[in-house]
Amino acid sequence: MTITVNRRPVEHVEGETVGDLLKRMKYSFPLVVVKIDGRVIAKSAFSSTPIEDGSSVDVIHLTSGG
Amino acid sequence: MSEECLNHAETARTIGRGNGPFITGNTERTHDIDRLRSGHKVLAEYTFERKPVKRGYAGRILYVNLTDLEIREIPLTSDVKEKFTGGKGFGLKMTWDLMGPDTRWNDPENILALNSGPLNGTTQYSGMGKCLSTTVSPSTNIICDSNAGGYFAPYLKFSGFDSLILQGKAREDILVFIDGTAGKVTIETAPYEETNSHLLSEQLTYMYAAEDSESARQKVAVVSAGKGSENSYWGILNISFYDPRRRVTRMKQHGRGGLGTVFRDKKLKALVARIEGFNGMTNDPQDIDRITETGIKHNREIRDLDMHENNMRTVGTGNLVEIMDAYDLLPTENYRFGSFPKASRIYSTRFYKRFTQGIPDGCWYGCNIACSKAVDGFVLRTGPYKGERVTVDGPEYETIGGGANMSVWDVDWILEFNFYCDTYGLDTISTATAIAFYMEMYEYGILNKERCDGLELCFGNAEAVLEFLHRIASGDRSEFIQVASKGVRRMKDHLIAKGWGDPDLIENCGMEVKGLEYSEYVCKESLAQQGGYALASKGPQHDEAWLIFMDMVNNQIPTFKDKAEALHYFPIWRTWFAIVGLCKLPWNDIVPADNASTDEPAKIPEHVRNYAEIMSGILGREITPQDLMDQSERVYNWQRAMNVWMGKGRRKDDIPPYRSMGPVTEMEYLSRKDRYDNQLKELVGISPEELSSMSVADRIRVLREHRYEEYNKLVDAVYYRRGWTPNGVPSPKKMRELGFSDEKEMLEMLQKAIDDDDAAGLNVWGGSYGEGDEIPCDDPRYWE
Ligand code: SF4
């Protein structure tokens, strides 16, 4: 039961949504782009989009800093 | 703002002002402008023909020699415009033309150049008023460039000059006044004014305003430093912008590299520029509609998205504190750790309550990001202005991060530190990073109260830090203050020369490269950012590259080649802002709603296209995003070539201290033991059995060998990608490709450096490549 997050293996949690995953990974940066198997997930759908076992999730933090 | 502060501000606003004695919006301090003015003696005067800006360029450079009191114009040739674009490009070119390679920061020959840029002064798009300055830095003895907002650069250009070149040294305190309305430049003595910036910039704003009105004061821009600049290597330049709502002369800072130290060494007390009658067309764009449309689109993004993205309009760059803490990147205790249990005490939510909200806070007209937050009516607790009420500009992320690095978790204290650094003309970054290093040395007993001349500089001792600042500004001659105020590199040399500690430990812990202190991010887990810092032309400042998320979190650049590509693209792209006179924040601190669906979201492609649009609209010819990169790549390589010329542009100069790469001490290793143990297993290939028999010291040693090996391979890949030799020298072939075929002296200098490296056997890869390892290039003489 694993998914990958940014190409690193992470345990899959049944029923977990994108929003839950971001919390679990402590990804609090607001400027993120989330893709599941290459499909962009709208920010408004983070809390309603479940992550299936085996998914490849990309959480792209956009460059910031001074 | 507290009720008390509001009452005070109200009182102050009701008090009449004039060009005689007046009371400021904050301090209730009276300045006798007539007396101050009576000390001014005009030493030199130059009248120039007023000419309008043409398509973004004034077409002239103003040269002022402070030794000879010479003032003259240097025409801007089309060749220089084509090859160097503007901003720091002009500063570098003029420095190359007018100065020798052995010039040190305090030689009269040293040039301090303040530059605008072709897009500078535009008001239809956010962030278009930055001043880009260059000089030989006291910290590094190579060229340091620094950018700041405020009104000076646009006013300089609207007065008729793309750059101001200052050379020589005055014999007494002077100021240079550029009167763009009258077409006159004067060098004047300035004996009676204050030196510290918050007072000096206010005095001069009132003195040089054409009349006693808020709008007249807005047309004056003052550049100043402070007593701290005089007595340390951390001098900054404060650039003013008069804020009519607060009735306060506010300031933005040229922070890095000691520009203020050079300024005061030249006995410059201030620069003043005054210009009347400018507007959104003064930069003479060829197609104003094109620029306005692009600006409107961008402003809509800011209006609709900022509150959901970085919240820059309410808390400025301070929003990064909580982010950095969450990702283990907030430097604490001299970068030993990246997060701290007390960090929430200095989160932006705490500063939000102090910032005066609802006032447009842009540092140039038309900036809708408006991140220049300020705390009004702040009462100082220490120092020469104890008890006075002041406006504190900022603090920005780096200053708050500096507080974390010294382990001070107190909002009020950070505000006081910020205020005094600014008015004394001290760089908050270098000051905090250096003090954090001294604190760590104190903890190990390498420094102690006696060696610190009575200061108990242990982590968290906030009062000692402020006393340290006040002693620097007062010109304290004790040995400790004399060495400590020159920064980490000089302190390392001092400690080692005294035999006070293990030289390896001292070298590893002091966070500097090339002599400049690191800015406030922990980059131990991002190899790309280790390169981003240590390979940066001026020294470890994050404005060239901030790759930590791309590398460490996103895992988007896993190979050396990927990292090298990022370390090619981003430094060049970010340099572009410094050659056209812009602020970077409107590029990447707000992103379009559909940015996610673009091919390369990290580059924010729509905003890059915006800049090409604006540049096309101003210059009146089509400019593509690739053209912007080409403009920048030329200047980027020229600066590296100048580093070679001045003796600091080789691989040996690009090596980071180990604290920026991994755990130096056992405590650091143990604080993230699982992380490092896993890396030894997964990345180095140590079996669990072997690992369990290794001491912590052995684990640190093996991890360190691994990380330095990785770093050397990264540097190989980056140098190759940039077209530099394996020892870091831009090749003449590369320089010709960039368009520098006629710059014979530069090409010969580089060829000689390469020949010398050949003779010394230095033109070889730094990494060790075994069978199956990918080397950057098969051709051993690829640069020829
Ligand atoms: S974004 Fe902030 S720093 Fe940049 S120009 Fe605007 S107000 Fe100034």
Q: Is residue A38 part of a domain?
A: yes
Query: Do B519 and B398 touch, CB atoms closer than 8 A?
Result: yes
Same domain for B98 and B171? yes
Q: What is the pLDDT of residues A34-50, one digit of tens each?
A: 999 999 899 899 999 99
Q: Is residue B769 part of a domain?
A: no
Q: Which residue did the predictor score with more confidence, B62 or A32?
A: B62
Residue from B125, B152, B369, B543 whose mutation best tests the ligand 1 pocket (most atoms within 8 A of CB): B369
Question: What's the number of domains chain B is made of?
Answer: 3
- A63 to chain B: nearest residue by CA? B602
User: A6 C-alpha vs ligand 1 centroid, how far in Å?
Assistant: 32
Asked if B591 and A59 come within 8 Å (Cβ–Cβ), the reply is: no
Low-confidence ranges of chain B (pLDDT < 70): 1-29
- pTM, two decimal places: 0.95
Same domain for B575 and B479? no
Please give all residues whose beta carbon lies within 6 A of any atom in ligand 1, as ranges.
Answer: B 126-127, 149, 362-364, 367, 369-372, 583, 585-586
Domain CATH for B692: 1.10.599.10
Query: Do B136 and B539 touch, CB atoms closer than 8 A?
Result: no
Q: Is residue B61 part of a domain?
A: yes
State both tokens at B484. Answer: 């400590």
Q: Is residue B775 part of a domain?
A: no
Q: Is residue A45 part of a domain?
A: yes
Asked if B555 and A61 come within 8 Å (Cβ–Cβ), the reply is: no
Q: Is residue A47 part of a domain?
A: yes
ipTM value for the complex: 0.94
Name the residue facing A33 among B309, B317, B601 (closest C-beta): B601
Calculate the alpha carbon distances from B670 to B21, B332, B509, B705 in Å: 61, 16, 17, 18
Q: Is residue B776 part of a domain?
A: no
Q: Is residue B3 part of a domain?
A: no
Q: Is the dihedral of CA A40, A41, A43, A44 positive or negative?
A: positive
Residues of B in contact with A57 (CB under 8 A): none
Name the residue facing A61 among B320, B554, B558 (closest C-beta): B554
Same domain for B650 and B678? yes
Same domain for B167 and B221? yes
Q: What is the DSSP letter of B66?
A: T
Q: Is residue A46 part of a domain?
A: yes
Q: Is residue A10 part of a domain?
A: yes
Q: For chain A, first and last CA: distance in Å? A: 39
Same domain for B512 and B536? no
Query: Do B482 and B492 touch, CB atoms closer than 8 A?
Result: no
Residue from B126, B311, B361, B543 whose mutation best tests the ligand 1 pocket (most atoms within 8 A of CB): B126
pLDDT for B597: 81
The identity of residue B202, as a single letter, is E
The identity of residue B172, as a single letter, is E
Q: Among the three residues B274, B296, B331, which one is the final residue of a domain in this structure?
A: B274
**Strand ranges of the sheet holding B60-65, from the earlier edge strand across to the other edge:** B70-75, B60-65, B163-167, B112-115, B131-136, B143-148
- The Cα of A37 is separated from the nearest Cα of chain B by a number of Å equal to 14
Q: Among the three residues B274, B300, B326, which one is the final residue of a domain in this structure?
A: B274
Q: Is residue B300 part of a domain?
A: yes
pLDDT for B767: 96
Q: What is the DSSP letter of B520?
A: S
DSSP string, B606-625: HHHHHHHHHHHHHHTS---H
Domain CATH for A46: 3.10.20.30
Domain CATH for B488: 1.10.569.10
Same domain for B468 and B544? no
SS3 of residue B250 by DSSP: strand
State both tokens at B109. Answer: 């020959």
- A23 to chain B: nearest residue by CA? B326
Same domain for B535 and B487? no
Q: Which of B454, B481, B461, B483 is nearest to B470 (CA)?
A: B481
CB contacts < 8 A (A, B): 75
pLDDT for B20: 38
Q: Which of B220, B92, B207 is nearest to B579 (CA)?
A: B92
Q: Is residue B614 part of a domain?
A: no
pLDDT for B19: 39
Same domain for B453 and B421? yes
Asked if A6 and B554 come within 8 Å (Cβ–Cβ), the reply is: yes
User: B774 C-alpha vs ligand 1 centroid, how far in Å?
Assistant: 43
Same domain for B510 and B636? no
Same domain for B549 and B686? yes
State both tokens at B191. Answer: 């004996």
Residues of B in contact with A43 (CB under 8 A): 308
Same domain for B239 and B352? no
User: B450 C-alpha vs ligand 1 centroid, how far in Å?
Assistant: 44
- Domain residues for the domain of B311 are 288-517
pLDDT for B26: 65
Q: Is the dihedral of CA B38, B40, B41, B44 positive or negative?
A: negative
Q: Is residue B617 part of a domain?
A: no
Calculate the alpha carbon distances from B403 to A38, B43, B98, B102, B306 in Å: 41, 43, 40, 36, 26
- Domain residues for the domain of A36 are 2-61
Calculate the alpha carbon distances from B547 to B319, B562, B784 in Å: 18, 12, 31
Site of tokens 């009004």 = B376
Q: What is the pLDDT of residues B160-194, one digit of tens each?
A: 999 999 999 999 999 999 999 999 999 999 999 99
Question: What's the number of domains chain A is made of?
Answer: 1
- B556 to chain A: nearest residue by CA? A6
Residues of A in contact with B526 (CB under 8 A): none
Q: Is residue A66 part of a domain?
A: no
Residues of B in contact with A59 (CB under 8 A): 553-554
Helices marked H in B239-353 — which ranges? 259-265, 288-305, 312-315, 320-326, 348-352
SS3 of residue B507 by DSSP: helix
Name the residue facing B596 among A40, A64, A65 (closest C-beta): A40
Same domain for B68 and B186? yes
